[in-house]
Amino acid sequence: MLEPQLPLNQFYPYICCGLCCGFLIDATTITECLHTFCKSCIVKHFFYSNRCPTCSIVVHQTQPLYNIRPDRQLQDIVYKMIPYLEESEKEQMCNFYKERGLEVPKPAVAVSPPAPAVMRRQKKDNVPPSMFTIPPELDVSLLLEFVGAEDGINDYKPLERRYVRVSGEATVRHVELFIRRKMELSPSCQVDVVCGDHLLDHYQSLKDIQNSVGEDALQDGLLVLHFGLVLPSQS
């Protein structure tokens, strides 16, 4: 049987920038809410605002640029889905620098033909890293286990991405925002995150949690976090 084919425009919400409405270039994600934009677009936006253009969350009170990160995997997906986009972007970049008499940055230079197999083995250590190489700052691997929802909470999607690799500087609040976005939770729904027997606070960093709980919280090298959906307590 043939695999089903979907029109490209169905993927536009995921591969287009919400600011310029074009395809993502240098995809950059806000760590507070995980919304992604072109790097140049979001940097310009932060010149006059410290809020996310999509959800209006405060990214940082004074330095919103501190809380953005390059999304290399998403950018690689965009380039694979849109034929010639990467080549066109590199060509425009080269022309921009040449018209101004500036040296073209090395990443923008065309890649030379691959060397013979024997030479590749000899120069294995010099091969540039893959686009999918995990950045060193992503040093904590999470396993998110859903334990259920309180009676009265029915409107949510299953969490399909249970395995996540993030920075140890990320907090429980970031994990909650990730869960909320992926499960499309109502703002009235509360997310309780537990590690072992400890109910975690929003301000706790994942690195501190991993160090304090120790090996008991790890499963095959993954930090296991259980989470449940509850209704807010009424005082």
The per-residue pLDDT for 124 is 46
**Choice between 3 and 177, residue whose per-residue pLDDT is larger:** 177
Could you give the angle at the alpha carbon of 28 between the alpha carbons of 34 and 39, nearest 5°? 140
Q: Give 139-230's CATH code, choosing from 3.40.50.720, 3.40.640.10, 3.10.20.90, 3.40.50.2300.
A: 3.10.20.90
The per-residue pLDDT for 18 is 92
CB-CB neighbours of 55 under 10 Å = 13
Mean pLDDT of 195-208: 86
Instruction: Indicate the domain borders of the chain.
Output: 9-100, 139-230
The per-residue pLDDT for 179 is 92
The per-residue pLDDT for 163 is 85
Whether 130 has a pLDDT exceeding 70, the answer reads no
Lowest mean pLDDT among 44-48, 104-108, 152-156, 211-215: 104-108
Which residues, other chains included, contact 133 with Cβ-Cβ below 8 Å and sequence gap of 6+? 72
Report which secondary-structure segment, H or E, holds 143.
strand 140-149
Top CATH class of 9-100 equals: alpha beta
Whether 142 has a pLDDT exceeding 90, the answer reads no
What average pLDDT does the structure give for the chain?
81
| pLDDT-based confidence at residue 92 (cuts at 50, 70, 90) | confident
Whether 44 has a pLDDT exceeding 60, the answer reads yes
Mean pLDDT of 196-215: 84
Rounded percentage of the chain residues whose pLDDT exceeds 70 = 83
Say if CB 50 and CB 58 are below 8 A apart. yes
Residue length of the chain: 235
d(CA 203, CA 181): 19
The residues facing 223 across adjacent strands are 142, 218
Mean pLDDT of 41-65: 88
d(CA 179, CA 72): 21
Q: Which token pair is 4?
A: 């089903």
Whether 90 has a pLDDT exceeding 70, the answer reads yes
